[in-house]
Structure 1
């Protein structure tokens, strides 16, 4: 079984297409289960954010699985395959590991280094765990990728070099409005991105913050954290008329802010939702500036960043990712040979016991002390003979062609393939289940 990634992102697809493919809520859960039920898939996880939709799966067939996962993305989005295929990318085995590590480290984000992706991958992991579509292979890979992402953000300046989408948006807002301290801000939505927006506004010195959400209680809780106030969703138009700066990020499938709800005047709207929360026609209103993911994708995402510092941080993070990928793949390859080594030692133990049984039958006059001495001697000889090849095969297994050494060992010693498979099942069952498995 091997890890496969099929997806599309802001690097390969326009925002309009990402909007159509993006899934959330019940639709995300359905896609997750449909992927996991595929004939060639053992485990599945889906990462769906404002600028990427990726399916991660443990598969037993490359080409068949790529076809299946691509088809499922097309079916769930309603996008014809001939239109979708040109924007899809595929990563397999080593490249899949490198891709996920790079994503979590912030190297593949629209704004390099933004930290929101860690929370988004963590949410995808939690959903897959709750829905039972995740197994030990993907679980370990994703957990490790989150550790790599945390290390990249802790050890380098990638966070400072590439601000979050919210930070970049506020930098653009200041270009239009001037200093945002003292301005009235409106946050539409109460999810994680809205919470980040409210916190960023508060840290920037904005003291007049209003939160509007379809569920008033959630709006009130978020507003309280930043010393703001909440308003009912029905008051959205009235709050828009009072706001200088609007940040909108809801999970709505339709437009939330239409052109007729906005009063023409100096005003800045930041739309971080996918699909769009704000009608693009708002751009035509005098004095009103609208920035959304599409406009950021087309060149505004790097506003306010230090190119020299960013380049240095990116280089450092790439070094961390390369180091971590090598370590992960070496450990993973070494682990693959363990069941074969166990099978070899198990066969050797069976041979020893059988020969000792024959010796006892042929020489019944051996007393207990002599029998124990012979037994220990035979076992020591076998252990010494097996020690060097088993240690060596574990070392060789860490190389890119490591699987071939385990295969050679199975062929040379005519090992029963059922034994390594049984060991793998016991190992994958996790702590506390080995005794039951044996």
Structure 2
């Protein structure tokens, strides 16, 4: 079996395609279930964020795997395969590992170095584990990605290469004033109560806004976010929750609005933005930030007088001109080092069932020969028999020790996958026995 990833992101597809291809939670579940039902895939995990959709799988056939995963992405995203295919990228084996580790470190993000992707990778792994679609390979891979991402942030200054998408978006609205001077004393409306919206609310609270109004389709989640914002010892910001039906009314009273929901249609229409801008009694601008994919706020907001608007598309354009930190090179070196380590570990693990089967066969041979000795020398007492048994086992263990240690070392090197086959052939190991050991090993993962 081999690792394969098929996906699209802000680097390969325009925002218009990414918007239409976004996968809500129920579609992600169905995609994973259908991926496992497809013949080429034995494991599957999906990483779906506002600017990427990637399907990871353990496949036994490359071309069949690419075709099947591409078709499944098209089916569940609702974008036709002919339209989707030009925007898809494919990574296989070490390149697939390299890709996910780069993503985890923020090297492939719209804003280099952003750390939110680690939470999204963690969520993708949790979903695969809950649905039992992530087995040994994908569990190992995604856990490695989380570890490497944390290592990159702790050992380098990759955080300085860029900010989180939320912070970057707010900085684009604030301009030269900076977030803290720009936000102080303003009234903010936050639509949504998920991770992005919560991060936006917390950032605005720290920046000194006077009030935050939270709107969410699930009232309990909005109430919970308000409770967090008003915790003792916090920022002291005033916060309250409202129903989604009140969003347009609250927009007219707000100075800043950030929206990031899972809605499939517009949350704020062009008419709503026009009405909010017209309702303002002074010359102060209305600042809008849309972090949703598909978009929450009508793109016509770019052309409304008195409104400063940033969305995923404009943030992508702005981040393309952002300076790269010198630490990026160090993170790339970490990724390369970790890809090699992951490959070596996987290759070494691949030969373990064969080594276990070989030792089991040797143990059977020892047991058989001791039984035959008993029939030939029935007069042996228990002490003599035990000493002979220990001696034979020591001889067998010493003979097998050096070759099994060496074969594990060789198997961990590039091109070492053939050593397991050679071992099975040389010792005439039963393939079914090796497979049984491998299945038992996976069951313990």
Spell out structure 1 runs of 4+ moving beyond 6 A: none
Which residue of 307, 313, 318 maps to 1:300?
318
| Matching residue of 2:208 | 205
| Matching residue of 2:260 | 249
| Matching residue of 1:48 | 48
1:235–1:364 CA distance, 2 compared to 1 (3 A): closer
Matches within 5 A, 1:30-429: 30-175=30-175, 179-226=182-229, 227=237, 228-262=239-273, 263-264=276-277, 266-297=285-316, 299-301=317-319, 307=323, 310-429=324-443
**Match of 1:414, SS?**
coil
Judge conservation of contact 2:256–2:288 (CA < 8 Å) in 1: yes
CA distance in 1, matches of 2:36, 2:103: 22
CA distance in 1, matches of 2:189, 2:391: 81
CA distance in 2, matches of 1:338, 1:10: 40
CA distance in 1, matches of 2:70, 2:113: 28
1:349–1:215 CA distance, 2 compared to 1 (3 A): closer
Judge conservation of contact 1:173–1:245 (CA < 8 Å) in 2: no
- The unaligned stretches of length 5 or more in structure 1 are 432-438
**Match of 1:311, SS?**
coil
Judge conservation of contact 1:162–1:302 (CA < 8 Å) in 2: no
CA distance in 1, matches of 2:28, 2:339: 29
| Matching residue of 2:280 | none
What's the offset of the Cα at 1:365? 4.0
CA distance in 2, matches of 1:388, 1:276: 61
CA distance in 2, matches of 1:344, 1:331: 20
Judge conservation of contact 2:215–2:244 (CA < 8 Å) in 1: yes
CA distance in 2, matches of 1:168, 1:116: 12
1:160–1:223 CA distance, 2 compared to 1 (3 A): farther
CA distance in 2, matches of 1:90, 1:36: 19
**Match of 1:4, SS?**
strand
| Matching residue of 2:17 | 17
What's the offset of the Cα at 1:367? 4.1
Judge conservation of contact 1:168–1:302 (CA < 8 Å) in 2: no
Judge conservation of contact 2:111–2:162 (CA < 8 Å) in 1: yes
1:244–1:313 CA distance, 2 compared to 1 (3 A): same
**Match of 2:397, SS?**
helix
What's the offset of the Cα at 1:238? 1.7
CA distance in 1, matches of 2:41, 2:320: 38
What's the offset of the Cα at 1:327? 1.6
**CA distances 1:310-332 after superposition (whole Å, capped 9, x unpaired):** 43221121122222222222111
1:145–1:94 CA distance, 2 compared to 1 (3 A): same
CA distance in 2, matches of 1:286, 1:125: 44
CA distance in 2, matches of 1:47, 1:108: 13
RMSD over aligned CA atoms reads 1.8
CA distance in 1, matches of 2:320, 2:96: 27
| Matching residue of 1:436 | none
CA distance in 2, matches of 1:217, 1:347: 60
Judge conservation of contact 1:165–1:301 (CA < 8 Å) in 2: no
CA distance in 2, matches of 1:386, 1:220: 65
**CA distances 1:280-301 after superposition (whole Å, capped 9, x unpaired):** 112221121221111112x212
Which is further off, 49-58 or 130-139?
130-139
**Match of 2:326, SS?**
helix
* TM-score, normalisation: structure 1: 0.93
